[in-house]
Amino acid sequence: MRTLPLTNGRVEVYADAAELAREAARRFAALAGTFIANRGRFTVALSGGSTPRAMFTLLAAPPFSDALAWRAIHLFWGDERCVPPDHPDSNYRMTRETLLDRVPLPPENVHRIPAEDPDPARAAERYAETLRHAFGEDAPRFDLLFLGMGADAHTASLFPGTAALHNNDRIVVAQYVEKLQAHRLTLTARTINHANNILFLVAGADKAPALQAVLEGPRDIDTFPSQLIAPDAGTLTWMVDEAAAGQLSVGGSP
């Protein structure tokens, strides 16, 4: 693994997506141990898409599945597609298939976004209420928050050119994403940045141009929403593979 300098965090470059997933699972387990030992619980906001699948699969099997204190772990999501939980596009369904169905996580520790609600704005408020109940404050502070990044530099469901990028009043927002022709539910950047530890997992050559623009290009959050991510007090680590890092000037292919 190579590390690259970053003004507000660090970039870790892994040989491939499999090594990235292994280290991300190790990081999850290490942070879980620390937070559970110190505070009795571990709160994690998961990302969706395809990249986290490999990490979830690792966490669902020994040695991780045996070592983790699942009863003290609380899972949330950073964003969700506005579909039922059994829909092929559901981030929750992906997590259920790769992780939840295989580990002894108490059902009450799974805090799903109610994305099946036909009223996206109401779904957003319901999830915000879930977060207020779980964290007892207006701005929830996740112990660990995972993010992915699209080839268009979006993260969570904060897409280029959308109003949600500039919403710092709410915890969760619902919005219609023109390019997807679909509604999405997402944590706002303010909520994401309140997390104690933020881990971006980015793999694949298709992400290289966006990663270079986000990390090394001029600030332009409407075009590159992932530039919004800057923890107000926590840590930020970009865990990327060599393919995604291929266009970084400070750390392109060795």
Closest CB 144 distance from ligand 6PG, rounded Å: 15
Number of C-alpha atoms within 13 angstroms, CB side, residue 242? Answer: 9
Binders of ligand 6PG in range 70-89 (CB under 6 A): 79
Q: Which residue is nearest to ligand 6PG (CB)?
A: 148
Closest CB 91 distance from ligand 6PG, rounded Å: 5
According to CB under 6 A, which one of 91, 95, 130, 191 is a site residue for ligand 6PG? 91
Closest CB 77 distance from ligand 6PG, rounded Å: 8
Cβ closer to ligand 6PG: 72 or 223? 223
Could you say whether residue 160 binds ligand 6PG (CB under 6 A)? no
Cβ closer to ligand 6PG: 67 or 243? 243
Compose the 34-53 pattern: x for residues touching ligand 6PG by CB under 6 A, - for all others: -------------xxxxx--
Binders of ligand 6PG in range 194-253 (CB under 6 A): none
Could you say whether residue 148 binds ligand 6PG (CB under 6 A)? yes
| Residue 177 to residue 150: CA distance in whole angstroms | 14
Q: Are strands 73-77 and 42-46 parallel, antiparallel or unpaired?
A: parallel
According to CB under 6 A, which one of 45, 54, 123, 156 is a site residue for ligand 6PG? 156
Cβ closer to ligand 6PG: 136 or 208? 208
Which residues is 180 bridged to in the sheet? none
Closest CB 217 distance from ligand 6PG, rounded Å: 19
Closest CA to 123 of 89, 84, 161: 84
Closest CB 95 distance from ligand 6PG, rounded Å: 11
Closest CA to 93 of 49, 132, 130, 135: 49
Closest CA to 169 of 189, 144, 185, 149: 189
Whole-Å CA distances, 72 to 80, 180, 209: 24, 36, 39
Number of amino acids touching ligand 6PG (CB under 6 A): 14
CB 244 within 8 A of CB 251: no
| CB neighbourhood size of 209 (10 A) | 16
CB 242 within 8 A of CB 8: no
Cβ closer to ligand 6PG: 43 or 157? 157
Whole-Å CA distances, 117 to 85, 104, 124, 157: 11, 27, 9, 17
Instruction: List residues near ligand 6PG by CB under 6 A.
Output: 47-51, 79, 91, 148-150, 154-157
